[in-house]
Amino acid sequence: MKFTVSLKENRVFRRLYAKGKSAVAPTMVLYCRRNGRRQSRLGLTTGTKLGHAVVRNKVRRRLREIYRLHEDRFAPGYDIVVVARVRAVHSSYAVLERDFLRLAKKLQLLPSQEGKKP
């Protein structure tokens, strides 16, 4: 991820949950808020309900890769937190990608560039 830094601080996550905008899909919840910087920050949350560490790490890797592949389409200057739900464990990569991009569009993180193909 060349345009993005990882979110790691608990207070930033809590502020996003409290004051950020959110959108919900069966596989994940996406929170976002402007951060006043040039670059975006991405945080991933996978609770123990999802399964053991191997399962949680697999979901995190998939979500991080989805973001990485579409990173250049995202508007810069946002804090983004993705909270994985239990359905994310059993969902295919294509379903996760579809939900992620749909939620990002709903929160206006993806500027409309219909003519541009990746």
- CA geometry: angle 54, 86, 108, nearest 5 deg: 105
As a whole number, mean pLDDT of residues 4-30 equals: 94
User: In terms of Cα–Cα distance, which of 114, 111, 117, 109 is closest to 22?
Assistant: 109
| Arithmetic mean of pLDDT over the chain | 92
69 — pLDDT class (breaks 50, 70, 90): very high
Reported as a single tens digit per residue, the pLDDT across 20-67 is: 999 999 999 999 999 999 899 999 999 999 999 999 999 999 999 999
- pTM confidence score: 0.89
Strands 40-45 and 78-84: parallel
- Residues 13, 85: Cα–Cα separation, whole Å: 17
Q: Is the dihedral of CA 28, 104, 101, 6 positive or negative?
A: negative
pLDDT for residue 105 is more than 90:
yes
pLDDT for residue 114 is more than 80:
no
As a whole number, mean pLDDT of residues 76-81 equals: 94
As a whole number, mean pLDDT of residues 91-107 equals: 96
